[in-house]
Amino acid sequence: VIEATELARGLVGRGFGRFAGVPCSHLDGLIQVLSAEGRYVAAADEGAALAIAAGSQLSGQRAGVLIQNSGLGNLVNPLTSLLIPFRIPVLVFATLRGWPDAAGDEPQHSVMGRVTAALLEEIGVPHRILDPEATSLDFLFDFVEDAFESEQPAFVLVPRGAVTAGVRRPAAGGWSTPEALADLVPLLSGRTVFATTGYLSRHLHALGDRAGTFYMQGAMGHALALGLGAALASPEESVVVLDGDGALLMHLGTASTVGALRPRNLVHVVFDNGAYESTGGQPTTSGAIDWRGFAESVGYRAAFLCRDPEELAQRGPAGLEAEGPVLLVLEVGIGSGAPPPRATAALEPAELTRRFSARAVAGG
Ligand SMILES: Cc1ncc(C[n+]2csc(CCOP(=O)(O)OP(=O)(O)O)c2C)c(N)n1
Give me the tens of pLDDT residue by residue for the chain, a chain 364 residues long: 999 999 999 999 999 999 999 999 999 999 999 999 999 999 999 999 999 999 999 999 999 999 999 999 999 999 999 999 999 999 999 999 999 999 999 999 999 999 999 999 999 999 999 998 988 999 999 999 999 999 999 999 999 999 999 999 999 989 999 999 999 999 999 999 999 999 999 999 999 999 999 999 999 999 999 999 999 999 999 999 999 999 999 999 999 999 999 999 999 999 999 999 999 999 999 999 999 999 999 999 999 999 999 999 999 999 999 999 999 999 999 998 889 999 999 999 999 999 999 998 754 3
CA of 248 to the centre of ligand 1 (A): 10
- Local structure of 305: helix, strand or coil: strand
pLDDT of res. 364: 39
Give the CA distances from residue 208 to residues 188, 201, 217, 334, in Å, rounded to whole numbers and listed in that order: 11, 11, 17, 22
pLDDT of res. 106: 93
CA of 201 to the centre of ligand 1 (A): 11
CA of 363 to the centre of ligand 1 (A): 34
Please give the number of the atom of ligand 1 that sits closest to the Cα of 220.
26
Please give the number of the atom of ligand 1 that sits closest to the Cα of 249.
15
CA of 9 to the centre of ligand 1 (A): 27
The residue count for the chain: 364
Please give the number of the atom of ligand 1 that sits closest to the Cα of 197.
9
CA of 135 to the centre of ligand 1 (A): 32
CA of 86 to the centre of ligand 1 (A): 30
Whose alpha carbon is nearest atom 23 of ligand 1?
23
Report the distance separating Cα 146 and Cα 198, nearest Å: 37
pLDDT of res. 361: 73
263: Cβ below 6 Å to ligand 1? no
Whose alpha carbon is nearest atom 22 of ligand 1?
279
Report the distance separating Cα 148 and Cα 334, nearest Å: 39
Residue type, 108: Q
Report the distance separating Cα 146 and Cα 244, nearest Å: 40
Burial of 315 (0-12, 13-18, 19+ CB in 10 A): middle
To test ligand 1's pocket by mutation, which of 46, 197, 251 has the most ligand atoms within 8 angstroms of CB? 197
CA of 250 to the centre of ligand 1 (A): 9
Question: DSSP string spanning 273-294?
Answer: -SEEGGGT-EE-SGGG--HHHH
pLDDT of res. 100: 94
Residue type, 290: D
Residue type, 347: L
178: Cβ below 6 Å to ligand 1? no
282: Cβ below 6 Å to ligand 1? no
CA of 130 to the centre of ligand 1 (A): 23
CA of 338 to the centre of ligand 1 (A): 16
- Local structure of 267: helix, strand or coil: strand
Report the distance separating Cα 147 and Cα 16, nearest Å: 14
Please give the number of the atom of ligand 1 that sits closest to the Cα of 68.
4
Please give the number of the atom of ligand 1 that sits closest to the Cα of 250.
1
Q: Which residues pair with 192 in a beta bridge?
A: 239
75: Cβ below 6 Å to ligand 1? no
pLDDT of res. 69: 98
